[in-house]
Amino acid sequence: MPDSKRVIPLESNPDIFTAMAHKLGLSPVLEFHDVLSLTEPDLVAFLPQPVFGVTLLFPITKEYEDYRTRFDSTRAPYSSESIDTVRWFKQTIGNGCGLYALLHLITNLQSDLIIDNSLLNSFLIQQLNRSLSTEDIAKLVENLEQQIQLDENYGSGGQTEAPPPEISVELHFITFVKGKDNHLYELDGRRTGPVDLGESVGGSNIIEDPKLNEKIQFYISNTNEANKHNFAMIALGPSLD
């Protein structure tokens, strides 16, 4: 399925993600925060909690692509069979992984954290059902992007100069959330579907789930030396206001 369009890649910036999430309809009681560490207790405690989800920005390297291809080759194509447990969207917007990471997080929140008459509810959540194909759902996301105008409103809002949309950036966003079955999921629009990491032991606060740290450390450990520090995390938690 070819890209429907290409956009300016988003920066891993909690202010940008918060502004876009609130535009889509996320309750103002939540916002995004930088994650400075998953292992140092003082830095973890500094993060407003509970954490509802974590978004990871990481480098696309040969090592990662080899792993992704090998892992996904053993999986059947996704067909919306688990849409009531965890919501996943196939990425069809080039460089749009930041939007998909955000949608993977906020569409999997409990419904009272999304404003009723929001863009997110009207253009996406209320239309999701098992009868829709992966391609049908991808079109819903594309229509939602047209409503928020990603490039005009968010693509150039970072602290660094934004590359043009025609440039393919070798960095990628994915999201970790807990599904309705109490399992921790890795959600990535470039994969063949949601990746079930097993039953969560972090309660409502996924930052306490050791499987989250294990998977992120796996990606860090298996990248090449030139990219060891090209990782960034932001988390969704209570607003500081």
Please give the structure tokens belonging to residue 90. 């196939």
Please give the structure tokens belonging to residue 66. 């080899």
| 153 secondary structure, DSSP code | I
Whether 33 is catalytic: no
Is the previous residue joined to 50 through a cis bond, with omega within 30 degrees of 0? Answer: yes
Q: Catalytic: which of 97, 104, 183, 229? A: 97
Q: Within 10 Å of residue 29's Cβ, how many Cβ atoms?
A: 9
Residue owning tokens 């309809």: 25
User: Nearest-CA neighbor of 236 among 11, 34, 25?
Assistant: 34
Q: Catalytic: which of 22, 33, 104, 172? A: 172
Burial of 31 (0-12, 13-18, 19+ CB in 10 A): buried
Residues labelled catalytic: 97, 172
